[in-house]
Amino acid sequence: MKKLILGSLVAATLAAAALPAAARTEVFVNVAPPPLRYEVVPAPRVGWIWAPGYWQWRGHHHVWIGGHWMRNRPGYVYAPARWVERDARWAYYAPTWQPHDRDGDGVPNRYDRAPDNPYRY
């Protein structure tokens, strides 16, 4: 019985890790986030991107996460955290890396035979 429970927990953890980041990190709250804080953006660094600060929901309140440097991921675009108002509630989407898609057709460039043609159907 212990092996069955342990195996189920491992399988559930692996399934959650396989979900897209946006699906795992959406949070709905009734409290609007405070205004963004002003941050001085440092000079660019080769091979790194600046991730701007954002308000994150933790427990029962907003917590400021300061901006920081992140190593660039070739072939991906950084999507910063954002809050969107929906039906008098606020939806939080955590920061993620998304495959680069120049033409916006939903196919990442690395798999797209015509990465600059949005009408390739």
Mean pLDDT (10-residue bins), the chain, 121 residues: 49 44 67 93 93 93 95 89 91 88 69 68 53
Residue-level pLDDT at 74: 85
Model pLDDT, residue 18: 41
Helix, strand, coil percentages in the chain from 3-state DSSP, rounded to 5: 20, 30, 50
Note the pTM of the prediction, 2 decimals. Answer: 0.64
Between the alpha carbon of residue 99 and those of residues 58, 73, 77, 107, 114, the distances in Å are 28, 10, 6, 8, 15
- The single-letter DSSP state of residue 41 is P
**Domain ranges (residues) in the chain:** 26-111
Say how many CA atoms lie within 13 Å of 110 toward its Cβ.
7
The rounded distance, in Å, linking the Cα atoms of 3 and 9 is 10
Q: What's the pLDDT at 15?
A: 42
